[in-house]
Structure 1
Amino acid sequence: MYNILIAAGSAVAVLLILLFGFKLAWWSSLLIALALFTGVYLITLRLIMKKVMVSIEAAGKDLQAQRFEKAIRGLKDALKYGKWQIYVEGQINSQIGSIYYIKRDFANAFPYLEKSFFKNWASMAMLAICYMKRQKKDLMVRTFEKAVQWSPKEHLLWNIYAYCLNECGESTKAKEVLEKGLKKMPGNPQIKENLELLGQGKKMKMRSYGDLWFQFHLESVAAVQKHQMAAMGGRMPRRKMVRR
């Protein structure tokens, strides 16, 4: 990453000047060089992250206004900062992939989700679902395992993992996943309920999560529309009449 290289280059240059130019003791020179490295690194980190946050906040406003393409363009432009700071590229790829996925543009979502930040559990879950839909169960499991390793307290993640395994005909493994989730979050009502349902040979209940669940598109479009109508009090949205 550029900021590390800049900080390291500055520190090495100062170290050599102090050692051979000013004949300073090696331990004093090293301490000064390390302090300089830390200072330069933190300053460049702050500057870069400030620019990244401006791009992410602008994308968030565009998403709220349903300007999806503009949000994606802004985030893609921010990818240039990935060369400056570690993990920035992965975080931005997570955002872009998630937007495409939510729009059901799975083909465009997939390459960005593949480069997602491993601590972004939602984008990792979306990637795992993409693998499931591509009949790559091993990669699905590997991705989910990585996601729960870094986000063990996300009960929706554990439930989605189990749901996908159950959909693949692996009900026993699905129950094992929920049991692991309960160990991380003892007494969690959602995990506990779904574990009991699977034990009874019934379908898992996920709709209590609302839009958080439906954004993963694991249910039919009709089910999503039914949920949206229920949220609106059972009324279809009114359409403006166009007079000719």
Structure 2
Amino acid sequence: MYNLLISLGIGLAIGAAIALGTEFGWAAAVFPALLAATIAYFLLARRTWKQLEAVFEGMQADVRAQKLDKAVQTLQGGFRLAPWQFLVAAQLHSNIGILLFIRQDLDAALPHLEKSFSRNWIARGMLGVARYKRRDLDGMKRVFEDAVKTNKKEGVLWSAYAWILEELNRHADAIAVLGRAVQANPSDEKLKGSLQLLQNGKKLKLGKVYGEQWFQFMLERPPPQFVGGPGFRGGKRAIYGRG
């Protein structure tokens, strides 16, 4: 990435200047070179992230105006920053995938969700749901297993995984997933309540528990009060700038 290469170049130049232009030699030049490269990388990376934040702010404005196509175009314009900094492309793919998924365009969303940032739990959850809807059940399981390992504190992610397993008549597996979720989040009463429902042979009621956070995964039809609400306009709960 350009920021790293430029920083290394700055560090090498300073190191060479000290080693060749003074009597101190290469041994004394190592620390100043490393320090210069580190400072340069920090400043360059910060500049790129600021530019990316401006792209996300523009996207959010488009979404609030319910212009999803324009929001996607705004994000696509951010790919000019991808060669400069690590993870920029993954952040952009995450948010484009989320927007296209909310628009229920799975064909367009999937390639972006596949490249989404591992810590953007919404994008990873939507990828798991997309795999499920395509009947790629092995792929669905792999995605959710990786997602819950990386995002252990996101109860709605665990719950979506369990809900899908329950829909597939894999009741014992659904209970096992929520059991792991409770173990990872012992103070999460929502997860405990959902686990108890399954153990008692009852249906999960995730819409009542998580509201728009649940309905954004499009696994159940939202009630009228959620349609057009913040989560479906790409509010902060639905879309995150840096995953």
Question: What is the TM-score with the length of structure 1 in the denominator?
Answer: 0.88
- For 1:63-82, what aligned pairs fall within 5 Å after superposition? 63-82=63-82
Distance in 1, matches of 2:105 and 2:37, equals 44
Distance in 1, matches of 2:81 and 2:158, equals 32
Kindly indicate whether residue 111 of structure 2 is the aligned counterpart of residue 84 of structure 1.
no
- Residue 217 of structure 2 corresponds to 216
Distance in 2, matches of 1:6 and 1:184, equals 42
Deviation at 1:200, TM superposition (A): 2.3
Distance in 2, matches of 1:168 and 1:6, equals 52
Please tell me the residue identity of whatever aligns with 1:224: P
Deviation at 1:11, TM superposition (A): 1.2
Kindly indicate whether residue 126 of structure 2 is the aligned counterpart of residue 129 of structure 1.
no
- Residue 45 of structure 2 corresponds to 45
The one-character-per-residue Cα deviations of 1:149-204 (angstroms, maximum 9, x if unpaired) are 12111111111111111122221111111011111111422211221221222211
Flag as ranges the 4+ runs of structure 1 deviating above 3 A. Answer: 225-229
Deviation at 1:215, TM superposition (A): 1.0
In terms of Rg, which structure is larger?
1
The one-character-per-residue Cα deviations of 1:80-136 (angstroms, maximum 9, x if unpaired) are 211111111111110100000011111111110000000000000000111111222
- Residue 20 of structure 2 corresponds to 20
Distance in 1, matches of 2:223 and 2:125, equals 22
Kindly indicate whether residue 161 of structure 2 is the aligned counterpart of residue 161 of structure 1.
yes
Distance in 1, matches of 2:28 and 2:69, equals 54
- Residue 236 of structure 2 corresponds to none
C-alpha RMSD of the superposition:
1.6
Structure 2 gap ranges (5+): 230-243
Structure 1 gap ranges (5+): 232-244
- Residue 54 of structure 1 corresponds to 54
In structure 2, relative to structure 1, the CA distance for the partners of 1:50 and 1:226 (3 Å cut) is closer
Tell me whether 203-212 or 16-25 shows the greater mean CA deviation. 16-25
Bigger relative contact order (CA 8 A; separation at least 6): 2
Question: What is the TM-score with the length of structure 2 in the denominator?
Answer: 0.88
Deviation at 1:2, TM superposition (A): 1.0
